[in-house]
Amino acid sequence: MDYKLVLDLIIAVLLAATIAYAAVLNTKLNQLRRNRDDLAKLVAAFNDATARAEAGIPKLKRASEDASSTLIDRVEKAQSLRDDLAFMIERADTMANRLEGSVRTARSEGKPTPAPASAGPVRGPITRPSPSPAAPKMPPLTAERDDGFDDDRSEAERELLRALQAVR
């Protein structure tokens, strides 16, 4: 065989492969050209979204600063109210203790005989012995005895103590 013929055949095969590759490349380029408009639209939409996001950042900063200042004001007001409530609770506790002492003193001056102890909680209204002329007038007790508080306390005292315990 002649070397020229073999070389011509090799070149022909390589040319056929090149033509096939060029045809595939041509179809891919045509698809890219067709999709170039879609890609341009996608890039434009991305740019618009980026611009809107950048424009929204200052608004978001202002909103967060406003929320922060509002929150700081509310926290300061809450701390002030907490301090006021703590002071009021301390004062109420002191007054309740004084009132309890006064009631016990008044009762000890009234009747020296203690009430009989019961085996369990008593249902029904609590009656108070009649006060002596020197003791201050107290409203009658109508609360149940099973409320967990000392029997010598008035209803107002028990309500105050319940409120104080609820706060704690």
Whether 121 is in a domain gets the answer no
Q: Is 151 a member of any domain?
A: yes
Residue 43 domain flag: yes
End-to-end CA distance of the chain: 111
Q: Is residue 114 part of a domain?
A: no
Asked if residue 8 is part of any domain, the answer here is: no
What pLDDT was estimated at residue 49?
95
CA 149 remoteness from chain centre:
35
At 84, which helix (H) or strand (E)? helix 3-110
**Closest among 136, 119, 135, 138 to 127, alpha carbons compared:** 138
Looking at residue 138, its pLDDT comes to 43
103, exposed or middle or buried, with CB in 10 Å at 0-12, 13-18, 19+? buried
pTM, entire model: 0.36
Sequential pLDDT tens for the chain (168 residues): 688 999 999 999 999 999 999 999 999 999 888 888 888 899 999 999 999 999 999 999 999 999 999 999 999 999 999 999 999 999 999 999 999 988 888 888 875 555 544 444 444 444 444 444 444 444 444 444 444 545 567 888 888 888 888 876
Domain annotation covers residue 4 = no
Whether residue 29 lies inside any domain: the answer is yes
Which phi and psi angles does 25 have, rounded to 5°?
-65, -40
**Per-residue pLDDT, 166:** 82
Q: Does 11 fall in a domain?
A: no
Distance CA 110, CA 132 (A): 5
8 Å CB contact between 123 and 145: yes
- Domain of 96? 23-106+132-167
Domain count, the chain: 1
